[in-house]
Amino acid sequence: MRVIAIDGPAGAGKSTIARALAARLGLEYLDTGAMYRAVTLAAMQGQVDDADEVAALSRGLSLEVGERGVFVDGVDATTAIRTPEVTGAVSRVAANSGVRAEMRARQRAWAELRGGGVIEGRDIGSVVFPEAELKLYLTASPRVRAERRVSEMGSGDVDEIERAIAARDHHDSTRVDSPLTEAAGSTVVDTTGLTVGEVLDQILRLLEHA
């Protein structure tokens, strides 16, 4: 399999870069964060809060994440998984070891079926695909990441979003199961002040020497 693993905190540009890189390399792209958001949405809609029950829900969920969008039990949830309510709850669901085990199995099956892909998330290079051809850790300053989120949403308080991002970083990097971290052998790419094209050029140069 040819796997390019892209990890990093919220707002670092992972999805934009991963999607563009996949198109450049002729590979498929998987946003694993969308998978955890989908489980979170399903748990909220079903009013499931107990950790074991959420894990069981994740195992029985029909989940499709791809170019068509995100479908949960056959229903288009592409927009619904991006609401502030889901964003505020996803870290807790993503810290659930039962959910993580199920999502990791699905991510590996996805890659095996396609012969690889550009896969982005929080633990792709460190846990899911430690033998990836190239492991990247994308980051940017918290302020820039907050400004990007405001730009994406079209409104919002930058200071408030920056605080929320800092809290998310802390939660994701200190959880017991598969914390957000720079994987061994990964290359850190700071996207602060760089265009998408400039970041892609850096990654393509890294691939030439991978």
Q: Domain segments of the chain: what residues? A: 2-205
Domain 2-205 top-level CATH class: alpha beta
Mean of the pLDDT values across residues 19-28? 96
Distance CA 14, CA 173 (A): 17
Q: Which of 72, 60, 66 is nearest to 22 (CA)?
A: 66
* Placement of tokens 């068509």 in the chain: 68
Mean of the pLDDT values across residues 79-98? 95
Q: Which residues contact 189 (CB under 8 A, 6 or more apart)?
A: 136, 137, 138, 139, 199, 202, 203
The pLDDT-based confidence of 73 (bands split at 50, 70, 90) is very high
Q: What is the pLDDT of residues 126-183, one digit of tens each?
A: 999 999 999 999 999 999 999 988 888 888 899 999 998 999 898 889 988 989 889 9
pLDDT of residue 187: 97
pLDDT higher than 90, residue 29: yes
pLDDT of residue 54: 98
The proportion of the chain whose per-residue pLDDT surpasses 70, expressed as a percent, equals 100
Distance CA 68, CA 137 (A): 26
Where do the H-state alpha helices sit in the chain? Answer: 14-25, 32-45, 51-60, 84-94, 97-114, 142-153, 158-174, 196-208
Asked if 196 and 118 count as a contact pair (C-beta separation under 8 A), the reply is no
The pLDDT-based confidence of 41 (bands split at 50, 70, 90) is very high
Asked if 95 and 51 count as a contact pair (C-beta separation under 8 A), the reply is no
Amino acid at 54: V
pLDDT of residue 153: 80
3-class DSSP state of 120 = strand
The pLDDT-based confidence of 206 (bands split at 50, 70, 90) is very high
The pLDDT-based confidence of 195 (bands split at 50, 70, 90) is very high
DSSP secondary structure letter of residue 8: -
pLDDT higher than 80, residue 210: no
Distance CA 129, CA 178 (A): 12
pLDDT of residue 151: 87
Count of CB atoms within 10 A of residue 65's CB?
24
Asked if 113 and 165 count as a contact pair (C-beta separation under 8 A), the reply is no
Strand partners, 29: 118
pLDDT higher than 90, residue 10: no
User: Is the pTM here over 0.85, yes or no?
Assistant: yes
